[in-house]
Structure 1
């Protein structure tokens, strides 16, 4: 699981950089919540590819593809709540607030992704 954690952090770093770049570009034309939503959806697609191929080295399946967005639906709800709290209640700049959101949702996303993408036998045999 350590190797998966490191791979998750590396691929997540790449995914985060790409989605933050998209978020910041979108801020030039839409509000921060819309920019967050659009960049988040793009991150789901990239995350699925990175997590199936590089992190968990598992075979793509339609079931996994169908379930994987649920990981991000949960992460999105938590992240959007943190983002709103950071901007509206804590007064953190909307350009920086997604960093706080990412720190909160990172561990949640790892464990939910692992649960969806790896067969149960693979998850329990490593513990």
Structure 2
């Protein structure tokens, strides 16, 4: 998938090894945090279970992205900055949810799926910026 002048297209750049590893690690992270949530539900209420599983998901995501996706060394400085990715992602998602539901009148059942798919590249770029920063 190259354009005529030999430069890679945006799609080619997105479908590189790092991005594919990012998508795989995201799937693993989602499954793991969901299982943690289900296990915690046996002991705690849903809100505490969700909170603990969400926070553990941030740390698992940092680990997977650092070691598996970007092959970098872990550091305290980067792990402290990494939750910013999730904050930014959350704010973008919230804005997109509002626009898609309130202005475009799309179904509230479908919109979260659209939002997640659209923000995967944003999350990838932000994660890469933080993890690969020197």
Q: Deviations over 1:27-68 (max 9, x none)?
A: xx87xxx8xx84754542331121012101111111000111
Distance 1:59 1:73, change over 3 A: same
TM-score by length of 2: 0.63
Report the RMSD for the aligned CA atoms in angstroms: 3.5
Q: How many residues align?
A: 113
Q: For the pair shown, which has the larger CA radius of gyration, 1 or 2?
A: 2
The counterpart of 2:124, out of the listed 96, 110, 123, is 110
Q: Structure 1 unaligned segments of length 5 or more: list them.
A: 121-127
Q: Indicate the residue corresponding to 2:79 in structure 1.
A: 65
> 1:45 maps to what in 2?
59
Greater relative contact order (Cα < 8 A, sep 6+): 1
Query: Over residues 66-118 of structure 1, what are the superposed CA-to-partner deviations in whole Å (9 max), with x where a residue is unaligned?
Result: 11111111111001222333444445444433211111211111111111001
Gap runs ≥5 in structure 2: 1-12
Q: Larger % of helix: which?
A: 1
